[in-house]
Structure 1
């Protein structure tokens, strides 16, 4: 028993070491699950039927909780800044343990499958159960796909240039295939899984490792961008998010203007400002935004840049005379208000564009499962959220400049959804503008992981990423996933970059997460076996 828990901890350690932002450590993910698989096999072979399921769940859960907590510990930092320590710990357990429980459930189902079919089919069933967990955890109201396994190669992007075909789920499949082959070779060495021709799994392992890597490296070193230049500026105002709302709109705008002007060129086409860069007490009414002081100041700023556009985060609202949306709240008789974490595009014409963040942070920006979770509203409000939740739009929309350039306004948390970002590109986005405020997490690995994940979106869609983060890290990422420029943490800064716009559509952009559907098919097959097949007498 004790040795099994040590193996589980070893898996957690390997998976943590292989996770971003540690550079070039990602190949450790290829063996990260092997110790845990050995521990689970020990349990299956030694315990009674009644005890196997619980012990498999607890052992896998130990790996998952330790790995998750070590990788996203920074969630506690943001919560503890606005809540008492005990309450912060309780709320932190949701992201630390919920995903871990789903991971452990995948192993629990695998343990059941081992008693009904051979080990190879069971392992493929495990891969299917795991991908199903990942798919669920990016789709439901408690979505948090931060720990999707394919994200792990973000810090070694030279090996995953084929994500423009499969997306991150292709990475999840790759990692699991290698772990499965290494594990079966281990069992063979122990005499627990006889293989007549050992050359077959060895050749399979070499092929699965080397062919995608070789293809990716060739693609990486031979990739050429079409020359379609545009001048872009990203701004990092470095305004402490905890005192931001004590500053006047004038003070904040002066900082944004000064930094923008410090690096801009006469032909600059986009100035990218971070999430909630435009804010004031009471937020901005979208209908009357043109009459505000902030809008008039921005137009005056653009006098110097006739082709210029300001793409900025903004806190805004809309008013209705009835409850038009589930998140609209009555603020007066027959007056309803919907608040948004939004982006806006301002140019030197009369056109004004808004985008309302759609992928909202559970609890902080939206109430999970609606009315069923109403009793948690006071806790979430203390974390800086709204009691009714932010409004959102159903699907992404593209901002178009007067010149016709299409920009994808991706707000913070949305950048970890590959399939969602690809929808902007399908609608005409020629580059991706990520606006975020990572200062809530402090100087932790959270901000670094968030930056690394943006590289995946660049590769999947073959689009430049211009990233504006309030306190860092801001920067530019090219179509190969290279970080071309980046700022330092917690320093006011602005960067100018000539990027290449792209109109070509990758296979992944067009097809989406079809690799995930393969996992769902495997999971369905595993469930059918669990329901239909009688238990085998011997393990093989």
Structure 2
């Protein structure tokens, strides 16, 4: 089959594009395939003659992409098995394209059909990147979120090519990818239509332009030398931390002996504390404790950990469910839980800082804001109360309440740090807000044990490099079954643990006070893309109605 015939076979092309999209994401690291995949996607959209064709063809691309990149959500459910996870993973792959990938596709198709350029209709392709980026950003702004498959994340292994995101944010990486893909599509189409010759001047010029754009990030890195400035740099000071990776199977932890688990954790903390130099902070992962630490009924178990903190004098940051009792008078969320006696309460996915001589009611805490759809909370369940009871896990994790207060942890009155719990680490602007508040280093605590050695574990860890670069902050990452590590402001990882192993990481991380442009201003670029997209759509709608009135 020669190339023109291959390009006429839309089904084959769609399958190819879907596979290439999927393989371009971590941990496969065939990042260059994203350029080809997006170029094929453009071909599919621009050659479609009806909305039905563009929707069905691109949905085939998206569903294959998602089945490769995020199949780990559903596959992890076979471990126990947890049928809710299996169904949820399948539904995510099916519905996510409908909500966030098909809309920009259809909008661009509508724009392309109604905005005409007399001399060069290919100019319409310039409107595709803003529309695509707008929907990538929108995935971070509401409760119906899953910002996992931004095209930018295909480049997390190419640290030298993403150093400018401390100014622009990661969505300019998506812009860079889509522009190169557009130029590739443009050149290949000209060659296949025999409008250009392979060795012709126009082809050579376009090739030079593509190469130049591809290496622009490298030029920036060469000029600004971020590697020298941010690689293992401690100019503002440093702090020793102990990171605990307990390697407790999350599927069975919730039914295990709670006292034994607590004692195991203390032994691991003692091992971390024995390291020289002694850590100033010991970090344990998300929901380390399969019980609500501060409930009166769990005081004996709380005392076991508290004794360690008192004797060692080392603060411990630990993930645990936490409880809030609502008074009889005052505001109570509509979706609050209720005891049998009528008292209202809520459970949060929380990071608690336990310190010497601090009472448990005075602990500094961060309640998770960005809750995973389905597994932790149903979107907008406070307005649609019937959704609240749809989640019934066998591992005690369902129906968390959304956090209310943004908290910056104060460590011994000397250092300030933020903590992102699991899913929160894939929300760039949310993460940056805490750094802008004054965080001098960052912590990520997560479980990830659900995924084992499936793609999700590696993707989640790899995505954290972007948070380090965007804000130029050191990150200490503690994951239940891996991957735990430290990350410097350039994005380099140190002391990386293996998956499914028990590990203690004693490492030093830097303190940084500098704030990047991105930290203080957030996703300004993405918001501009939204405005451009809205303006483009309004113009296209106006032109469509103008045609109707003149015809």
Q: TM-score higher than 0.5 here?
A: yes
**In the alignment, what sits opposite 1:481?**
491
1:426 deviates by 1.0
User: Within the alignment, does 1:27 sit opposite 2:32 as a pair?
Assistant: yes
**In the alignment, what sits opposite 1:242?**
251
Structure 2 distance, partners of 1:284, 1:522, is: 48
1:268-296: CA deviation from partner (whole Å, max 9, x where unpaired) = 1110001111333xx2346x69x923443
1:307-331: CA deviation from partner (whole Å, max 9, x where unpaired) = x210110111011124523442221
CA contact (8 A) 1:407 1:431 kept: yes
CA contact (8 A) 2:335 2:381 kept: no
Structure 2 distance, partners of 1:157, 1:361, is: 28
Closer, same or farther: CA 340–193 of 1 in aligned 2, 3 Å: farther
**In the alignment, what sits opposite 1:523?**
533
CA contact (8 A) 1:82 1:383 kept: no
1:320-366: CA deviation from partner (whole Å, max 9, x where unpaired) = 12452344222144511110110100111325111110001112222
1:168 deviates by 1.6
CA contact (8 A) 1:466 1:477 kept: yes
User: Within the alignment, does 1:160 sit opposite 2:162 as a pair?
Assistant: yes
User: Within the alignment, does 1:390 sit opposite 2:404 as a pair?
Assistant: no
**In the alignment, what sits opposite 1:257?**
266
Structure 1 distance, partners of 2:383, 2:343, is: 25
CA contact (8 A) 2:377 2:388 kept: no
Closer, same or farther: CA 337–174 of 1 in aligned 2, 3 Å: same
**In the alignment, what sits opposite 1:14?**
20
**In the alignment, what sits opposite 2:126?**
124
1:121 deviates by 4.2
Closer, same or farther: CA 379–370 of 1 in aligned 2, 3 Å: closer
Structure 2 distance, partners of 1:375, 1:461, is: 40
CA contact (8 A) 1:268 1:305 kept: no
Unaligned runs of 5+ in 1: none
Equivalence map 1:412-423=2 (5 Å): 412-423=422-433
1:66 deviates by 0.5
1:462 deviates by 0.9
1:505 deviates by 0.4
Closer, same or farther: CA 373–70 of 1 in aligned 2, 3 Å: farther
After superposing the two structures, state which structure 1 stretch, 518-527 or 202-211, moved more.
Answer: 202-211
After superposing the two structures, state which structure 1 stretch, 173-182 or 123-132, moved more.
Answer: 123-132
Closer, same or farther: CA 208–2 of 1 in aligned 2, 3 Å: closer
Structure 1 distance, partners of 2:257, 2:381, is: 34
1:81-116: CA deviation from partner (whole Å, max 9, x where unpaired) = 56675x655432331022222312322222222222
CA contact (8 A) 2:452 2:481 kept: no
**In the alignment, what sits opposite 2:391?**
380
**In the alignment, what sits opposite 1:182?**
184
Q: Return the match for 1:496 from 492, 506, 511.
A: 506
Q: Return the match for 2:146 from 144, 147, 151.
A: 144
Q: Return the match for 2:290 from 272, 279, 300.
A: 279
1:266 deviates by 5.2
**In the alignment, what sits opposite 1:36?**
41
CA contact (8 A) 2:333 2:382 kept: no
After superposing the two structures, state which structure 1 stretch, 123-132 or 113-122, moved more.
Answer: 113-122
1:373 deviates by 5.0
CA contact (8 A) 1:366 1:386 kept: no
CA contact (8 A) 1:229 1:501 kept: yes
Equivalence map 1:66-145=2 (5 Å): 66-81=64-79, 90-101=87-98, 102-116=100-114, 117-118=116-117, 119-145=121-147
User: Within the alignment, does 1:210 sit opposite 2:215 as a pair?
Assistant: yes
1:497 deviates by 0.3
Structure 2 distance, partners of 1:383, 1:518, is: 44
CA contact (8 A) 2:73 2:86 kept: no
Q: Return the match for 1:436 from 426, 446, 457.
A: 446
Please state whether the residue corresponding to 1:344 is helix, strand or coil: strand
1:496 deviates by 0.4
Equivalence map 1:393-408=2 (5 Å): 393-394=403-404, 396-408=406-418
RMSD: 2.7
CA contact (8 A) 2:241 2:282 kept: yes
**In the alignment, what sits opposite 2:307?**
300
Closer, same or farther: CA 189–359 of 1 in aligned 2, 3 Å: same
1:162 deviates by 1.1
